[in-house]
A and B are shown apart, each in its own frame.
Chain A
Amino acid sequence: MDINKRKRELVKEFSPMLEKTSFVSKLWIVILIAILSVGLYAFYLQFMNGHKITGMRDNVVWGIYIINFIFFVGISYSGAFITGVLHFFKGSWKYAIARIIKIITVLSLIIGPIFILLCIGRLDRLHYLFIYPRIQSPITWDIIAIMTDLIGCFIYLYLTFIPDFAILRDSENLKVPNWQKKVYKVLAIGYQDTTTQRERLHKITEIMSVMIIAMAIVAYTVLAWIFSLTLQPGWNSTIFAPYFIIAGLYSGVGVIIISMYLIRKTFKLERYIRKIHFIGAGIVLLIISILFGYFTFSEYFAKWFSHKTNDVELLDTLFSRYFWEFILANYIGVLVPIAILFFKKLRTIKSITFAAVIAVLGLWLNRYLIVIPTLETPYIPIQDTRPEFIFYTATWIEYALSFAGIAAFILFFKLIMKFVPIIPMSGIIDQERCEEKRRKNTTEQVQ
């Protein structure tokens, strides 16, 4: 096999993704930038006027910002977990989706923490966290864990990009701007695909993939502790950390399936992202949705059965004021994906994607029900005449910023895909190299 020839073929195959931007794609970018600018304007308003223009008040001090924070960090954690695990699987199928997951991991880990910053009243004093740190505060743990996780995921993503940067640097026919070629050259850091380099890279990637699994679990556990270490009736629960871990995977796998579907459609990658990927991911989603339903049930069942006063108050709120949200999040959001994914006949690409969409939306709502109703039912009953201090309703500022977060996620995803092919070329070559070796070995044995 002529590796250089194969590289040229692959570059030729994937170069349209990097060279051309279709009209629809351009239109999307414009729309995304528009949503992002509305979000930036909302941020400007919030920064200038203070938090009074949000729906947050003295009882519900954290609104949908913190829900988005848990949501995005959860996606990132599960992405890290899955890529880490995928690394130890053999087979060509994993290369088709590995990079999608890695990009999801890094992007959501950048966007998630921005939402926690929006909860902070004095952004101008953010550096106090480092000047006057107090190690016993779970927030400090969270900062350390998330920053470590972010750096780790960045390194891991970059490591898997290096061989592709080298291939792109060496392809002279690529019709991309000159600056882009220069960036490829710098980022490839002199990688020449020699055997020593390849082995070294492989070793580092292997160590990193174990490390990011650990880092991701730690980061998300600490995030769950932000809630469960307080005395609040709805939060102070020993199963919160594992519950969050499962919930993170649930939304993460969902987002991966949705991204796979969209990328496959847009770039016509049916040859690479095949039905087997959807079925595989669908079965993983099925297992996790059962686990997630089990955890959700345990959490609420224990509260209901032991009926402590404050737990009962919380459940009463959930089943009166939040009745439909509760049904959508914890019944529809769990049972519909299970129903779709359980039956072999129903497992088509479209239905699996539909189940993923339900799972992701249901999970966001489930997070909402964990955060908001708990804060609305404190130990000492709220006795206030101002309606906004009793019940939380998000304002357009908060929604604008939430959608801006999603828009930023998609936009950056698009930009990264313009820069590096979404299917790792080096992975495909590595795989083919392995297969050839195996073939040679078998033929030698036969002779």
Chain B
Amino acid sequence: MKSNKPKESNSNRRNFLKLGLMSSVTVVTGASLFSNLIDDDKEIGSGEKMRVLTPEGKIVEVDATNINKYPEALITPAESRKGIPNRKFVMVIDLAKCKNARKCVESCQKAHQLDYNEEFIKVQLIQDNKEADPYWFPKPCFHCDSPPCVTVCPTGATFKRDDNIVLVDAERCIGCKFCVTSCPYSARIFNWGHKDKFKNTTIPYSPETGVPATEGTIMKCDFCPDMLRQGKLPHCAQSCPMGVIYFGDINEDIVTNGEETVRFSKLIKERAGYRYLEHLGTKPNVYYLPAVNRQFPLERGFDVDEDIIERYKNVDYVKELKKQGKI
């Protein structure tokens, strides 16, 4: 699909997308960030010409036949390197609300066609020291501003975009795994063998969706740019029943978990937001709000499958619980 389409229509489509995104940025100022970016369904079918707003604020007419609605448009690997204009995506995870419901993990797995144990977002149980209260710690890729994985990649298969997202192009990846060893957050997964799902040719590959995956290459959390282009939240943020995961744009200083929309800077200041392992200098774009004033007792998180509980067996707190026969 990607190669047999003429170049011209491709670039027109890209132009439109740009225009659409720009216009919405201007139009929806003050409103929710995630109002639908391309809300032009009616116009596409009706007229031959269409009016769109340019980034400079001018209204221009575009031929309606040149216009594609996004979800059908494919973002090719080359296009996916640019990023969504004028955006700086950021994620805030509120540790006080997480109760290990694992809905983020499951919806992410479903969207990215991952197997049971393949998780782009992992929920870890972290106990900082013996006295400290453990907390559930959802860990996606941190999409760092100084990403060590991008520096070491010998082919540019993994790259940093203008909109803060770090993506992997599985068609470029040679599978040297250097990025895995250089990532201090263990965010990356390798496809160790062949799986039938890789053969799925009905969907063309795009680094923005990561589907279908390829044997012998790297994959990881991608902040769901395909959803962002449609003005939707990433799957994990959308599916969390507790509203743990806020997602938004630093440029607009807004983050939302789908229920409430808040100022990013205010949230971080008031709730003492921090970045994990700040001292490593990777400058993550995922912020955490400390687990104070919890909404749920920690034990609620143990209401999961036996083998998931088994993962946490080395945490001091779990060892203690086991000794007491509570799990």
| Contact surface of A with B, Cβ cutoff 8 Å | 49-53, 56-59, 61-62, 119-122, 125-126, 128-129, 131-134, 136-140, 143, 226, 229-232, 375, 378-386
Q: Which of A50, A128, A137, A139 is within 8 Å of B172, CB to CB?
A: A128
Sample of 5 A–B contacts (CB below 8 Å): A120-B176, A232-B184, A379-B184, A379-B185, A382-B186
Q: What does DSSP make chain A's interface, helix, strand, loop or mixed?
A: loop
Whether B194 sits at the interface, judged by CB under 8 Å, is yes
Shortest CB-to-CB span from B292 to chain A, Å, is 21
Asked if B274 is at the interface of the complex by the 8 Å CB criterion, the answer is no
Residues of B within 8 A of A379 (CB): 184-186, 277, 280
Q: Complex Cα distance A70/B191, Å? A: 25
C-alpha spacing A141/B28, complex, angstroms: 48
Tell me if B124 and A121 are in contact (CB < 8 A). no
B187-223 near A? 1/0 per residue, CB < 8 Å: 0111111100000000000000000001111000000
In-complex Cβ contact of A59 among B124, B157, B173, B186 (8 A):
B186
- B326 in the interface, Cβ–Cβ < 8 Å? no
A381 to B276, CA, bound (A): 13
Known contacts A119-B176, A128-B172, A132-B157; can you find 15 more A-B pairs with CB under 8 A? A49-B194, A56-B192, A119-B177, A125-B172, A128-B157, A129-B155, A132-B156, A136-B151, A137-B151, A229-B182, A231-B182, A379-B186, A379-B277, A380-B126, A385-B311
Interface residue SS majority, chain B: loop
| Least distance between B191 CB and chain A CB atoms (Å) | 8
Are A50 and B193 neighbours in the complex by a CB distance under 8 Å? yes
User: Could you tell me the distance in whole angstroms from the C-beta of A116 to the nearest C-beta in chain B?
Assistant: 8
In the A-B complex, the 5 residue pairs with the closest CB atoms = A121-B175, A121-B216, A52-B193, A50-B193, A52-B192
Q: Once the chains bind, are A57 and B192 in contact (CB under 8 Å)?
A: yes
Cα–Cα distance between A53 and B216 once the two chains are bound (Å): 12
State the Cβ distance, A166 to closest chain B Cβ, in Å: 43
Query: A139's contact among B117, B154, B180, B280, by CB below 8 Å, is which?
Result: B154
Q: Is the CB of B215 within 8 A of A50?
A: yes
* Contact call A128/B155, Cβ cutoff below 8 A: yes
Q: Which residues of B contact A (CB under 8 A)?
A: 117, 122, 124-126, 139, 148, 151-157, 172-178, 180-182, 184-186, 188-194, 214-217, 277, 280, 282, 307-308, 310-312, 314
Shortest C-beta distance, A308 to chain B (Å), equals 10
Assuming A383-B122, A385-B307, A385-B311, is B216 touching A50 (CB within 8 A)? yes
Assess the A385–B310 pair: CB atoms within 8 A.
yes
Q: Within the complex, which residue of A51, A59, A131, A384 is in contact with B193, where a contact is CB–CB below 8 Å?
A: A51
Docked complex Cα distance between A125 and B178 (Å): 16
Given A58-B189, A129-B154, A383-B311, A231 contacting B124 (CB threshold 8 A): no
Q: Is the CB of B307 within 8 A of A122?
A: no
Of the residues A62, A120, A140, A380, contact of B124 by C-beta under 8 Å: A380
Q: Are B151 and A121 in contact (CB under 8 A)?
A: no
- Contact status A51-B186, CB under 8 Å: no
Residues of B within 8 A of A57 (CB): 190, 192
Assembled-state Cα–Cα distance A52/B184 (Å): 23
Report chain B residues within 8 Å CB of A385.
117, 307-308, 310-311
Partner of B190, one of A51, A136, A229, A378: A51
